[in-house]
Amino acid sequence: MFGLMVRFTCKDASAAAEFDSLVERTGERIRTNEPGTVIYAVHRVDGRPLERIFYELYRDKDAFETHESQDYVQAFLTAREEYVSTTVVDRLEFVSGKGVDVEL
């Protein structure tokens, strides 16, 4: 297992709405085309309307690299710069959990 937690802060409310639209379009492609992406969840943060948290879990680092190489992910990475003021990325090492098959 390989995971990421990414916190984005959008520039303003309009940028947040556009970012959410970009996320939805990209997420559709991820769900359809990436069997090695186990979880790709995006959350709004209660009380902080400009923040979004992505929780991403991949079968392994190869699945993550496959994800990163997709044309729609590259397009997302470029387009997000228009909407986001800060990005914080934490790489995660899986320890334990519910609902995750570690034998993937």
Q: Does residue 97 lie in a domain region?
A: no
Structural domains in the chain (count): 1
- pLDDT at position 94: 85
Please list the ranges in the chain whose pLDDT falls under 50. none
Q: Does residue 59 lie in a domain region?
A: yes
DSSP string, the chain: -EEEEEEEEESSHHHHHHHHHHHHHHHHHHHHH-TTEEEEEEEEETTEEEEEEEEEEESSHHHHHHHHHSHHHHHHHHHGGGTEEEEEEEEE-----SS--TT-
User: What CATH number should be reported for the domain holding residue 88?
Assistant: 3.30.70.100
Q: Does residue 44 lie in a domain region?
A: yes
Q: What is the pLDDT of residues 66-95, one digit of tens each?
A: 999 999 999 999 999 999 999 999 999 888
For 45, the domain range is 2-92
Q: Does residue 6 lie in a domain region?
A: yes
